[in-house]
Structures are given as C-alpha cells and as structure tokens.
Structure 1
Amino acid sequence: MMASVKPLSGAAPGDVEASVPQRYLGLLADSAERLLAAADPAEMVDEIFALIRRELRLDVFTNYRFDGERLRLEAHGGLGDEEAAAIASLELGEAICGTVAQQRCMHHAVSIRTSADPVYAFTKRLGLDTYACTPLLHGDRLLGTLSFGRRWTNRFTTDELRFLRTLCHYVALAKYRLHAEAALRDGMEMRERLVAELKHRVRNALQVAVGLVGAEVGEMPVAAQAPLYRAIERLQILALAHRPLYGSELPGAIDVGRLIAALIRDGAIPVTAGKIAAAPPVRIETAAALALLLHALTLPLSPGEPVTLHLAMDARRMTIALNGLCHPDEPSRMVRGLLHQLRGTLAPGTGGTVLTLPVPHDD
C-alpha cells in the first residue's frame, strides 16, 4: 500500500506558506497573480508549470479533473501524445493519482525505479524516480489532482513538498472560482434562453389569437361585429404591452412612460401626451392591466375629442390624469375589474378623470 505525505498537523494554508523558503515565496506570489487572472483551467496549470519548472527542475506534470465518477486528464506537460492517451481517464484508486483522489491525501513516491509497487508502473515506464501528487480540494469537494515528477533524483525535499502543497492549494481555489463562474454563466444563459422562448411564445400566441378573432368577424352579422372588434383591440393592447419585453434586459420589467407613449403613438388610446414623469418599472401583468384600463377608459371618446394624459409620481402613488375625459358615472365591469387588479382608484379631477395607483403596486 502506498505511503502518503501526511498533512501538517493543524496547519492552515498561511502557516504552510510561512514555512516555505524565501526563494520560493516569489514563485508563489507570481503563481497567485496568474491564478487570480486565469480564465481557462488547463492553460492556467500549463502556465504555472512553465513558471516553476526550471526552479524545481521538474520533468513532468499531470492535472486531472474529477467529473463526479472518474478522473479526466485536463492538462499535462512532459508527456507524448501516446503517453497522455494511456492515462486520459483513471478510476478512483487507479495508479498514483487515482489513489490520491480516493484517499484525499498528498502522496510522495520515492525511488520509483527500484520499487516493485504496481501502482507506480506507469510512472516507472516514464523513467521518473520521484512523483508528488496532491488532491485539489475545496472544503470536502474533490476537484481533481495535480502532480509533478522528476527523473534526475529519487525524492523531493521537505521544503519542495511544502511549496508544492501550498501551490496546489492556490490552484484548487482558482479552479473552484472558474467552476463557479462557469456555472453562473451557464445559469444566466439558460435563463436568457428560457425568457427569449417565453417572449417568442407569448408574441406568437397573441398574433394567432388576433388572427382567429379577425377571421370570425367576417362571418358574423354586422350587428354582432362590434364586440369582436373590441376583443381584437384588446388583444392588440396586450401585444403592445408585451412588446417592450422583446428588447428588455430585465425580464418582466416594463417602463410605464414608454408604454404610455407607445399606446398613444399606435393610436391604442386617443389622447395627447402631457407631462410624463419618470416611473419605476412594473411587471408585465401590471403593464398589461394598465394598458387595458387606459384603453377601456378612453374607448367612449369621440374622434377629435381633446384629452391630455399626464403622469405624476410621488413616494406613495402613481397618478394618471386624463384631462378632458369625463368621469364615468358607472364604470364598466372591465374597468372595475382592472381597477381591482391594480388596487387603483378612479375619481373626478380638475378638468377630467384621475386614476391613482399605489406604489409599489406589484406586491
């Protein structure tokens, strides 16, 4: 059974570093700087090997990544293509690196050429006489292993082993950082794809609904067409409320001022824009309900009837004044329902009707 180098009793990474000879501290500082800036785990270890190879007179290095089941060779130096292919994947407990991964303890193989231990078979074929393998750990999580070998001597010194152990600790931290960043990017990309798909489906569904209702209108008696035309208008209002989402970086965030401007520009509400204050973004369901409410309130307007819309904000509420619009004595069922959904109130104002909504009104 392989003998392993036991961790320093009670030693924290800083304690280990403090015991590293002065001539290695510069290498550790340079290594840490490169690891902090690294963007690729394989290239990162290649650079570290190139940095320390001459000082420690190293001949070979191997870096394995643990995929949850096996070790996968991620980077190597000093090996030919056939040699690397022979050890591209290892089971836990296989060869030196597999055993270190299984035991999670550094191993220093010495006098390999004269050893009969079958675990050393591959390193012996490489002509190595000493080999130091360290598990890359983040807490209890195994990330992989990092190993260094020599042909010219049969062992590493104690100082060299301390240096390599500290260096491997830094590599493990860097690899964990890269893994966490990659997982975060993957999660964000998946979220963006799902949001894009949702937007696409909503837009298509609204377009199909408008088309279906429009097809029905032509087959209905003239007297029955008015309700269907209103249904088409409302579907178009919903599509208009959703439109800002298609170019938004914040899924579900709708700018109220821009929504009102779009409603006016597209003729969905026959009013003139007055003073429009900046308002906090609202959820899509709030934006859709507000668009439908403004459409329902202005639906009775006659062509050319002058109405001006003003939007004002304070810390507690959003106020939309429709100057020139008479306050309805008996709001329609749709208006009442939308007011209830928005937790808003409708009241007579100076020269028109005032719609008040609480802020925030999405809780």
Structure 2
Amino acid sequence: MVKRKVHSPEHRVYIKLEPWTRITDLRLLEHIMLLIQKKYALFSFLYPKTKALYNKMPLRKNGENPFTHPLNTVLNLLRAGVKDEIILCAALVHDYVEEHVDLYRDEHKINEMKQDGIKILDNFEKKTFEEFENEIQAFCKKRKIDPKKGDKIVDTTRLLTRHKRDFYYRSIINIFTHQNTEIKENAILIKLADRLHNILTIGNFNETERNYQCFKNMFILNSVKRYLKNKHGKMIFADDVINPLDKLFKKNAKATYTAFLKICHLCTAKGLGDVTPMIQLSLKKFALETEGMWEVTKLNKREKHPLCLFQGVIRKYDYRLHHEMNKFKKRTLKETEYVKKFFVEYKFNDEQVNALIDYKDAYGMKEVIAYLLYEKDYSIAGFEYSGLFER
C-alpha cells in the first residue's frame, strides 16, 4: 500500500476516518496484487486459478469485471492491516467453490429450488472442494510448505461457502458458531471485507433490494459486535492501535450507514421533502421515550403515532432473511395502509408511498448502525446468531 503525505495533524485524523472506496480499475488492482504474489507462494499459486474462473463469469450487476470483487476483498483486508498469508489467500478464493457451483448450475440448467437440484449441486460442491483441497496440498508438498497452511485456507473457504441447501442467514450463523477460533475469526474478517465491497455498490441494486442488502450487513455487524463484547467485555475497542477486526467492523459499519443515508436521499427525491422531518422526529420519540433502539420491538396495534412505523422494522427484515415472505408482505401492507391514512392530504401515489416506507426503514436502521459504532454496550437483543441458531 502506498503511503500518503500527511499535511497536518488534522489531515492525519481525516486519513484515519475517511471512508474506503472500491477500486474499479482491474489493472490497478492486479498491480497491487503483484506485491502479494511475490511475497506469498500460496497466493501466487491460487491467483491464476481464481482469475481463470472469473474470466468465465458474466459481468457484475454494475458492469464491472467480476474479478474486481475478490481483489477488492483482499484490498480491504490489506487496508485493515492484515498480513497473514492464510487470510489473504482465503479472501482471494472465498467465493471460488460457490462460483464453480453457480457456473455448473447455469451450464446444466439445474433448478436449485428443488430438492433433486440441491442434491446435485451439493454433490458437485463436495467434488469441487475435494479437487481444490488436493491441488493446494499437492502444491504445498511440492514447495515444501507446511500443509497446515493449506488446510486452514480450505477450512476458512469452506466456512465462508454458502451451501445451496442453506439460506443466507444459516451461512452467517455457521461462521459465528464455529468451534475453531482461528478459522472463525479468519472468516469474520473476510466476510466483513467482502460485504464492505458489496455495500459500496448499493446504487446498483433495485429499490426492493437496497434496504435488504444493507440489513444483511447490519445482521452481520450486530453479530460481530456481540462476539467482540463477549470476547473483550468493557475493553471493546480499547486498544490504542486498532486491530484489523475492529477496523473492518468500523469501516463496514460506516459504509453501511452511508448506504442507508443514500437510500434516504433517493427516496426524498421522489417528493417527500415536506414529510421527512416528521418521520425523523418520530424515530427520535421512538428511541428516546420508549428505548426502542435496544431490542427487537413488536408492533403495538393501538399506537396511532407515526413512531409505530419503527416498531418491528428489524423483525420485518428478519422475516425476509428467513424467507418468511408472507409475514414480510403482511407487515409491509400494514405500513402501507397506515402511511396512506396518516398522510392522506398529501395524496401520495403508490411509488411515493413505497418510497416513504423505504425511507423510514433506512432512516431507522442507519441509527442502529450509529449505535453499534458509538455505544460500547449496544447490540440489538433478540437479533443475533445465537438466538437465530435455535429457530
């Protein structure tokens, strides 16, 4: 990483706090990766294999080369101060097996929503992992590298791979409940770096996806915060020199906050400027009078104040995370009915009503991110990996 000129103490603080951006120039990313390839033999071995895979894949939703994703994931880890060869290698290949499975699915037109399709893809995934592991171990043997390094790369990649039989939340739960602390923390670091790159492209998602993509980050961040609290207690974030996990947590949280804020701006632009102050104050009332920010709240059917719009927001997206779409739609419908009745004099059209619901969701959840960042004791009760694991 190139060191920047520091012009003043104030500028030094800015450099520390500034948001990270993604690099879209593949040539620049590959130039940065040259240094790692020269330093680490395993990274050099895995790099051309990974590049060859991504050359077979379609462009990302934003039109970028798909290979920019694993490279930006590695870049985020480097920015955080990660120097461990195992973590950098696992970051490079964190989607390697999953992408192979997706290409196989598309090539053979396999329906992953049916049980027979899932079984075929699970078997192919198992075969791909075996080949991947054998190739790494053969390279380690040839170059006289400790085979445990190869094992840890494979184990971390396996932990980060979402199986077709599992929903997204299950793959996250598996990370936080893994028994091996080293592999678990490797995976947490990589997942934070991975989701940081994804959230920086939030503008490329459609309106129905934006808040949900940010919510997935919030779910991960809340789980990381609880993990760090359990590990460090009152000493959380107390180090004079922030370690990579703390740094990635904060950078991811700030990027997620920014993404929620961007959603708010996009929604406001649809003619909602006159009513957003009322929505904002309703959240303050919800947070300060009812302490609603400290737990997953339930809907009070008798409440007619617009603070009711913030009751059950996290539960609503939790329904979607668990693929309980009927409950998600039912909750959204109730919010739609309330907004139409409350703001009846504004005669908002359906697009504006939907935008208003998206706005209040994004506005409320960005405050959760701020609490996660700056309230040391804060995490949302009833919304974490341990509770979900029991569902």
Sort the TM-score into its range (normalised by shorter chain): under 0.3
Rg larger in 1 or in 2?
A: 1
Structure holding more strand per residue:
1
- Which TM-score applies when normalising by structure 1? 0.24
Question: Per chain length, whose mean CA-contact separation is higher, i.e. which structure has more relative contact order (CA < 8 Å, sep 6+)?
Answer: 2
Structure holding more helix per residue:
2
